[in-house]
Amino acid sequence: MQGGAYGASFAGGDFDFQSFLKQPQTILRCLSWLFAIVVFATIVAEGYVNPPTSQVVVCVFNGVDSACSYGIAVGILAFLACPVFFILDAYFPRISSAKERRCIVTGDLVFSAVWTFLWFVCFCVLTNQWSKTSKELAVHSDAARAVLAFSFFSVITWALLSYFALVRYRQGVSAFDQEYRDPANDQTTPYPTGQYASSTPAGYQQSPFSQSQEQPGEYQPPTY
């Protein structure tokens, strides 16, 4: 019923690791994973400074700690999610269930779209706060610019991942619609013909008795 939806009918076969590494989605996931590491690791290592007028460590982005916390949270979650989807992509061709494939494709699409939005918000927030940062806090300017740059790169990679996930989702939906029809609602398929369509069954032979048999009323007793 759903054999070809999301490519489930093509499941199986040997896993080609080299071809898998050359796929656009695999390359984008690796780049997204590296970009996430750069963003949250840079913020953790050099995103907090101690201003001369205070002994409290504050965020380098205009002293707004929530901006640094937001960037760290988005980066860590993206860092953890990329290997998960990387493994699912590698295991995907061996899944024979169309329902499981649909769940994976839908999850990939939703997560990629959400993280595209979150990275865009992260880039906008950090850029806005960096433009308002005073010279006293702008100590690690190179690190802050690196965070902004790789946040922007993350928006691009996750947007491309969303596009590829959307393409795969639409292909699966179209395959499902073409192959599946509910028998209760299908009024176009004619009923199959009976086993004996003609008036005379196949293989029937005429009776060896003649049709000119005497009727019961015409019987005459023998004479002695």
* 62, two tokens: 């205009």
Distance between CA atoms of residues 214 and 206, nearest Å: 18
Q: How confident is the model at residue 138, as a pLDDT?
A: 75
- The yes-or-no verdict on residue 98 having pLDDT over 90 is no
Distance between CA atoms of residues 61 and 48, nearest Å: 8
The more confident residue out of 77 and 10 is 77
Taking residue 160's Cβ as centre, other Cβ atoms within 10 Å add up to 18
Distance between CA atoms of residues 83 and 67, nearest Å: 26
Distance between CA atoms of residues 18 and 134, nearest Å: 49
Specify the pTM.
Answer: 0.71
Mean pLDDT of the chain: 79
47-62: pLDDT as tens digits: 888 877 777 888 889 8
User: What contacts 132, CB < 8 A, 6 or more positions away?
Assistant: 62
- The yes-or-no verdict on residue 144 having pLDDT over 60 is yes
Question: 33-68: b or e for each residue (b if 16 or more CB lie within 10 Å)?
Answer: bbbbbbbbbbbeebbbbeeeeeeeebbbbbbbeebb
Spacing of C-alpha 175 from chain mean position: 14
159-218: pLDDT as tens digits: 999 999 999 888 876 655 554 444 444 455 555 555 544 455 555 555 555 555 545 555
